Structure 1
Amino acid sequence: MNKKLSRLLLLLLGALSFASCQKELNFPSTSILTPGTGGGSAKFKFAGGANSCTGALISGTYNAGTALNNQNTITLKVTVDSIGSYTLATANINGVIFSGSGEFTSTGSQNIILTGSGTPVTAGSFNFIPGFAGCAFSISFTAKSTGVAQFTLNGAPDSCIAPVVSGTYIVGTALNAANTVLLKVSVTTAGTYSVSSNAVNGVLFSVTGKFAANGQQSVMLTGSGKPLKSGTFTFTPGTYGCKFAVHFTE
């Protein structure tokens, strides 16, 4: 009888030990998220705890391939238990980080603002966690713009900066694909573009294409038409473009 009781107790203890191990292996779903970093002397809690941030305010536009700026902010609600300084940053997710720092001068309900930096790599929805154990907020990044590009010809409205004029320009000889002008541009919104100069001396320069990203780019305009006279003539691509000169010979 004592042996049976001992075996029963051993089986019961084993079952309890197995159940305990099983419980430890059931990690919460938030553990798959990547925490950020934090520091400072203040003590505070995020509204939402370790779950989704409660009342988070997301400002700015978020497009893949477009660098974030000071308009890309996240306002989070916190409860301050102890005043002091704080620094917060998320991990680098999809090429983007949200960070901020400051000082709490009173306890209770407060707001903190994190500012985004970096350039989103791809479209989609991504989760961010400020600090080691902050709440989580989600940012949806849209696909790269497929609309009309926004850009400025470098040097506009004055002389183009370092234009490269290629080909020969002879009176009475029609221009061809070798007659080109390479211009530098600053792109603020990626997309399609079409640029054409004014017609001067029987000739104009034009190009169409698409900018895949923002920043410094180059466009190559190709000449067409047949020069009427010899001399140096000035061309202006676009309505508010820069100016470049082409010399025609006999």
Structure 2
Amino acid sequence: MKIYPDDDRGLSGKVRSLVGVGNLLLEDNMLDESLKSFDEALVLDGDAGGALQGKVKVFAAMGNEKLVKGEYDPALEYFNRALEIEKDNPEILQGKCNILNQKAQYLFQSKKIKDALSIFNQSLDLYPYNKEGLNGKGFCLNRLGDFKAAIDLFDSVLGVYAGDSVALEGKARGCAGWGEELLDKNDFNLALVQFNNVLKIYPDDDRGLSGKVRSLVGVGNLLLEDNMLDESLKSFDEALVLDGDAGGALQGKVKVFAAMGMRS
């Protein structure tokens, strides 16, 4: 090229050489040098496929280096630069999705729940059925008190990934939270349903057992008010099977026996 600067054969050979050098440097994790070589190739031939593909790989590698350091925004920037070259590259899209999920998880652990939810939604925009995004969004909704929506999300995960431990934990928390909310509203029958759902997942869960006892006592008192004494007694007895010291259930039985005595 020193002799004939515009020689097609010389230009083509130099482009191929620069791409080859760039790939060797990439293999050695010399990312800045690799990127420089690919860029030089593209100056000579803007459509050099090997150089464009090489840049995508370099940006992905740079992004992953940032991700390892917990630098989520710079990592996303590199993956976005890769997607500017190959917008439908599945590996790059998956990598970006992974970064978003990790960033959202960090925000969740930092108690920035609404911010975490926003990032999980971005992850789900890329891959609507990615398990980490769905589970993460579900835990955010639990923390925000939107228990029904959270439970629906966890159920959708379990419909595809049966027995997924994270989704099961999230569903149990959601059911417990919803049950406690219903108890506060004296909606004891629906609360009982939710605590039973908790115990289907974790039979010995303290929160589930405690909530079920409180629900049974509440149901028993409602039945007592309606003078459905046998049914009321049954509800109090079921509570006492779970907790023999449940004061509300013992007091309820006293009232039931008194009412039965008066009826007799």
- Normalised-by-shorter TM-score class: under 0.3
**TM-score, normalised relative to structure 2:** 0.24
TM-score (norm 1): 0.25
- Structure 1 or 2: more helix by fraction: 2
Task: Give the number of the structure whose residues are more often strand, by fraction.
Answer: 1
Q: Which has the higher contact order (CA 8 A, sep 6+)?
A: 1
